Structure 1
Amino acid sequence: MKLNKIIGALALLGLAGAVSAQEVVVKIGHSGPLSGSQSFSGKDNENGVRLAIEELNAKPITVGGKKLKFELVSEDDQADPKSGVNVAQKLIDSGVKFVVGPYNSGVTIPASRVYSEAGVLVATVASNPKITAQGYKNLFRVNASDSQLGSKMALYAAKELKLKNVAVVDDRTAFGQGVAEEFEKQAKASGMKVVGHEFTTDKASDFTAILTNLKAKKAEAIFYGGYAPQGGPMARQMKQLGINAKLLGGDTICVTEMGKLGGDAVGENVLCAQGGAILDKAANGPAFKEKYKKRFSQEPDVYAASFYDGMMMYADAMKKANSIDPAKVGAEIYKGSYKGVAGTYTFDDKGNMKQSPVTVFTFKNGQPAPLTSY
């Protein structure tokens, strides 16, 4: 009897080995600011990837005759270029071949070289045009670029708001400079006068001097190239100084944190441009928002849907390529098309989306509220 039990146990062990042999673990890296003033964005993005992975693992896809099990490896790059490079090497050393992120352009530019040398695929929302101009064939921008965000905000200011005099402030980060330059270029092309261009940093909290200077120049709107931790206090200080100009910006101030930090100084006077269509009007947008809220007990912020789409795009390409080889998966992404929550992902030879709608938002009750997409 004991012999039969031993044989039975060995048979079960053998069966377990056979089952596990039919499953392959694929590590998915996430790089983002999980600490510091931008951590609200980093966690939101991470949640988007996590939601996709949990859905894929609940209904596993089969590639090469084996079921894939995705494992999230998330690292805090602190929105810092040096940390981002260290994170890239850490993810590579741990066997990651697919990364969703980084979030910040300043992190993505140096980190992308490290990923490229290791043959790791990267899907990023970082918007500086220099990122895709580097010529890396393993990198995809799953969002609008600065040229689209900055220029369309300027077009909206000229055509819809009918503004004549505008000013620019940038925080000297790769993102802030890039989006501010694109806004300024299009503003001038649209017939607006740029009455001043001031500079700050992504660590600053007092903008009184530069705002006082711009008030004297009678700017009707100030475009801020930077992030919400500075944008919120800037809006407060504009109100305190009696500046009635509108505060314009890119996707990084299109966040609930902007309303929290700016309080009653953030309302319809603040407008921002964000990549992607209006989520509520997208075919799968409402369903995504419901799933996200059920899982994380909060509304998705700016790029949760894009990070979710980036992960789902990888999985779709793996199925089409019938491989988890990043080179083959990347080739499939380039030649194919994936319809996600936030948009349809088809790419040019540089890794930019061929069509990326931009939505202009304002704020109502402290929350970003979409106005129009174009």
Structure 2
Amino acid sequence: MFAKKLLPLTVAAAFTLIGGTAVAQEVVVKLGHVSPTSGPIAHLGKDMENSARMAIEDLNKAGITIGGKKAKFELLAEDDASDPKQGTAAAQKLVDANIAGVIGHLNSGTSIPASKIYYDAGIVQISPASTNPAYTKQGYNTTFRVVANDGQLGGTLGKYAVNELKGKEVAVLDDRTAYGQGVAEEFAKSVAAAGGKVVSRQYTTDRATDFQAVLTSVKSTNPQVVFFGGMDAVAGPMLRQMKQLGINANFMGGDGLCTSSLARLAGDAIGEGKVVCAEAGGVVGEEKKGMEAFRAKYKARFNADVQLYAPYVYDSIMVMVEAMKKADSIDPAKYGPELFKINYPGVTGNIAFDQYGDIKNGALTLYTYKAGERTELSTIR
């Protein structure tokens, strides 16, 4: 059961006096957002926070009524710096601020420990980015995500490596984070299932910049494919050093490195069609128009291109508020159960959740890089 969360008057409603009688005029809805806006992947965290602010602006323009009162939405944004300790501190700060719900975190390594804090407080959490399967398998009915998990990501990439890239022998590296390790392990399992072989298994960290030792070891095994479980801030320099060492293998990774910034970070080491990655989401057909419109709107608002997770943040906020509207309440104990019944046409495609809070029929989009630009290969459900 969702814990009953008591909202103070500052959150529940604002009042005015009419004829000496207190009349409720609006309900103030505080929504939390947590992402790494400092550290090596701050560009991704800022991308997320920008989108959250745009969603709040759009909601306030829409004139939404909840519980018979006009809803005024406010965003409380926190930086977790991709650090679990800072992530849990941010989560507690938001709980203490009496938020009605939270969107975040980016990294599985911060989302997972923070999720207990939100659950204990009875606050709904929707992650727009965390893909480790363990995140939704803790028995918390307050925990949701709008992207496919590592099993789907790593599994799809593993099959693609063997069947399409003819990678019978692959090297697998990860950054030892919950995300990086999780997606790398799923990739390795899928490679084996497809008839390939992992010939080198190496590790680094999410703050590393020198990969000479691990890449020299990788080179000695002569793999056709090198897979990295981690983020673009590490993958870019890794690609540069692979080129310096003469490693000509295809390079693969999950959504953490599948960004518009990877080509800039990798320079000419990005190659032409050399890198293949998967984003945990994607749209096809008529749905593409909505995504294109979102990207254009985002660029007009912030004078910057979408990096990666912005559309999923936007949808996370919109689907949370849709549940509030259906429950006619901002109380997580009342609107939380509505999320398990929701069917929402979002920018990123249709959103519905299973009994664990995982998105149903989650899409995956495969990309490569040509002429320094991320180029779509295909979308798979």
Retained in 2: the 8 A contact 1:150–1:180? Answer: yes
SS in 2 for 1:140: strand
What is the one-letter code of the residue matched to 2:280?
G
Q: Where in structure 2 are the equivalents of 1:20-39 lying within 5 Å? A: 21-39=24-42
The offset of 1:279, in angstroms, is 7.5
Identity of aligned residues (%): 49
Q: Where in structure 2 are the equivalents of 1:130-149 lying within 5 Å? A: 130-149=134-153
Distance 2:307 2:20 in 1: 42
What's the CA shift string for 1:116-136, capped at 9, x where partnerless?
000110000201011111010
What is the one-letter code of the residue matched to 2:377?
L
Aligned match for 2:347, one of 334, 341, 362? 341
- 1:357 paired with 2:360, answer no
Retained in 1: the 8 A contact 2:261–2:307? Answer: no
The offset of 1:216, in angstroms, is 1.1
- 1:246 paired with 2:241, answer no
What is the one-letter code of the residue matched to 1:274?
E
Retained in 1: the 8 A contact 2:329–2:335? Answer: yes
Distance 1:282 1:18 in 2: 51
Unmatched segments (≥5 aa) in structure 1: 1-12
Distance 1:336 1:365 in 2: 41
Retained in 1: the 8 A contact 2:283–2:363? Answer: no
Aligned match for 2:205, one of 197, 201, 204? 201
Retained in 2: the 8 A contact 1:169–1:224? Answer: yes
The offset of 1:93, in angstroms, is 0.5
Retained in 1: the 8 A contact 2:284–2:379? Answer: no
Q: Name the structure 2 match of 1:59.
A: 62
CA-based RMSD: 1.7
Aligned match for 1:284, one of 273, 282, 290? 290
SS in 2 for 1:302: coil
The offset of 1:73, in angstroms, is 0.4
Paired residues, what number? Answer: 362
**TM-score when normalising by structure 1:** 0.93
**TM-score when normalising by structure 2:** 0.92
Distance 1:99 1:296 in 2: 23
The offset of 1:160, in angstroms, is 1.9
Q: Name the structure 2 match of 1:368.
A: 374
- 1:264 paired with 2:268, answer yes
Larger gyration radius, structure 1 or structure 2: 1
Retained in 1: the 8 A contact 2:87–2:110? Answer: yes
SS in 1 for 2:279: strand
Distance 1:19 1:228 in 2: 54
Aligned match for 2:92, one of 89, 92, 112? 89
Q: Name the structure 1 match of 2:7.
A: none
SS in 1 for 2:282: coil
Unmatched segments (≥5 aa) in structure 2: 1-15
Distance 1:72 1:216 in 2: 51
What is the one-letter code of the residue matched to 1:305?
P
Q: Where in structure 2 are the equivalents of 1:1-374 lying within 5 Å? A: 14=17, 21-124=24-127, 125-267=129-271, 268-278=273-283, 282-374=288-380
